[in-house]
Amino acid sequence: MRILLAPDSFKSCATAFEVCQYAQAGIHQTGLPIHTVLLPMADGGEGSLDVVLASQRGEKIWTTVQNPLGKPVQTYWGWFSQTQTAIIEMAKASGLMLLEERERNPLYTNTFGTGQLIKEAIQKGAKHVVVFIGGSATNDAGAGMLQALGVRFLDNERQPIPRLTGGNLSQIAFIDTSEMCYNSNQVSITVACDVTNPLLGKYGASRVFAPQKGADAAMVEILEKNLMHFAQLTGLVLEKDDASKPGSGAAGGLGFALMAYCSAHMKKGAETIWDIIQGNQFLEQLNSSTDLVITGEGRIDKQTLYGKVPVTVARFAKLYQIPVVGICGSYAADISELYEFFCGIYSILSEPSSLENAITRAPQWISYTVANITRTWYASKTYFRK
């Protein structure tokens, strides 16, 4: 019998590769005659670049850039010379995972490091750049990224503002794009993202996502006001309004900057990765006598329906009438709509737990949960059908 393991990462807890390994260990613990196939997945968030590189054998380009607080961090991006394509994961330069909890404050963080990666890719000769923009620590509307690409932001006295962050966008009085190193006629950018929020308002970057990055209520109001100022000034300079476009609020407004200044095309993260690498591989595995698929992510809720890895996996498995089980750290109270795709959804938590404890014990709990699922499934395939 054969089980295909195709999970996404568990955010801030385990990469997709690690989830696969923990799940496989649980299956082996059962002692049952089961062959496992590991196919880590991603949807544009943390770990997406590693999934792409491992599958397509791209070149890992190491470099040093600024982290969200402007400190040097060693990181990497992906290069595919045959297609002149660069793959960039903004979380590796401007991500929340790069900061300690006490350092998380979107008034002081920016996306300059992500801009450095894009600039380096352009200098390498990239004709197409794919930017995964999940997991950000920022709320600067991509202004830091634009500074790295050569856009000059000036104050009322026409003096350059040295380092833009979510907290000082209101200082911008003039925007000069004449020295920007990006040319949309020479390089195209695809933004891989599963967020459709606009830049501003009730469902915008500041009000929805900034609290997850360390902002309190007062900070949220400052950030919202600053984003509005930046969006209005951008509209005057570029003579267009991208602030209301779906995805403009992604990654603290990085989606807005990429669309407005770089003419980037937005695409769902899971679909982007599927198109790049995973579609054929996954279908090949499904056509090789797979009996069960186990997928999952950190939290399963109604958002899972909208392009997330577990449902993307389940949709294809359903075409071949292969049962799919989902595992997660937690799930929403009402997930009835998801049972169209899953025969079961299970939390790995085996006892009341703090988040810190759950993250620490995740390897063990993932193994236990998958072991229990496997035993139950195997029994249904054998004993109950005698």
Which domain CATH number covers 321?
3.40.50.10350
Q: Are residues 112 and 252 in the same domain?
A: yes
Among candidate residues 246, 267, 288, the one where a domain is terminated: 267
Q: Are residues 243 and 160 in the same domain?
A: yes
Q: Are residues 377 and 357 in the same domain?
A: yes
74 forms beta bridges with 64
Whole-angstrom Cα distance, residue 274 to residue 55? 11
Q: Residue 317 domain-assigned? A: yes
Q: Is 236 exposed, middle or buried (0-12, 13-18, 19+ CB in 10 A)?
A: exposed
Whole-angstrom Cα distance, residue 45 to residue 12? 11
User: What pLDDT digit, counting tens, does each position of 224-281 carry?
Assistant: 999 999 999 999 999 998 999 999 999 999 999 999 999 999 988 777 877 776 555 6
Containing structural domain, residue 108: 48-267
Domain count within the chain: 2
In this prediction, what percent of the chain has a pLDDT beyond 90?
71
Among candidate residues 219, 248, 267, the one where a domain is terminated: 267
Does 314 score more than 80 pLDDT? Answer: yes
Is the CB of residue 144 less than 8 Å from the CB of residue 67?
Answer: no
Q: If you average pLDDT over each of 55-64, 150-159, 348-357, which comes out highest?
A: 150-159
Q: Are residues 257 and 127 in the same domain?
A: yes
Q: Are residues 321 and 175 in the same domain?
A: no
Q: Are residues 215 and 296 in the same domain?
A: no
Q: Residue 213 domain-assigned? A: yes
Q: Are residues 180 and 233 in the same domain?
A: yes
Radius of gyration for the chain, computed over Cα atoms and rounded to the nearest angstrom: 22
Q: Are residues 176 and 146 in the same domain?
A: yes
Q: Are residues 314 and 256 in the same domain?
A: no
Q: Are residues 34 and 60 in the same domain?
A: no
For residue 288, the model assigns a pLDDT of 65
Q: Residue 282 domain-assigned? A: yes
Among candidate residues 218, 244, 267, the one where a domain is terminated: 267
Average pLDDT of the chain to the nearest whole number: 91
Q: Residue 84 domain-assigned? A: yes
Q: Residue 332 domain-assigned? A: yes
Q: Are residues 283 and 201 in the same domain?
A: no
Q: Residue 181 domain-assigned? A: yes
For residue 42, the model assigns a pLDDT of 81
Q: Residue 343 domain-assigned? A: yes
Q: Are residues 99 and 157 in the same domain?
A: yes
Mean pLDDT of 327-354: 90
What is the domain-level CATH number for residue 142? 3.90.1510.10
Q: Residue 272 domain-assigned? A: no
